[in-house]
Structure 1
């Protein structure tokens, strides 16, 4: 049976950010930590070795595959920041207002926080959380 590798754990978010080598990337990671914490209302938790997540939800697909994931999150990767959001109906429109980025199905990639509009980023955090709470309504608060 497949087991998820990216699980919530008790590793230190601060120690993880402190391990980021580039000073500017570390500074941006702290800025994102503040922005996600304040906007989401959830404390930061490590998911796996490299994702900082906020809140959690339990999903179950029609195939039977299920697991837990953060409502929103980010990771300071070597090449760029990966920002994790759920896909809502207004995603494409919101992305046009975000600023310089690349996007995948559930990830948005930015080089630095100054490349994006932080108000739009906050909107994306709130929208993702609302979308996931509506999609998976049988959640305990904070989990």
Structure 2
């Protein structure tokens, strides 16, 4: 929060810019038992994104967030190393696959680029349809 505020002030002094926060599919819309603290912090990131967008928008600073689901990373290494767990999770995704870093990078690139020059205060779910899929 403090870093975003400082970055936004610097951007505002130099004609504007874009801040892209990273949230999580486990947060505002979905929850998993045992992940309460994680969910609360990510829900806070979503709220922070909207609040900073309102605060800094008049000064030309856009603030958005990307909300990934399980994506290949150090944090999810155990999921990708366990074929049974990976299959169980993949079955919950409308696109029938888990995320790759490139999936998230492309969404961040969109928010950081001029292609989103009229977009601020948005939280984009990059979750392969996990939020839309019906869990069996």
Normalization by structure 2: what TM-score? 0.28
Rg: which structure is higher? 2
Instruction: Select the structure with the greater relative contact order (CA < 8 A; seq sep ≥ 6).
Output: 2
Q: Report which of the two has the higher share of helix.
A: 2
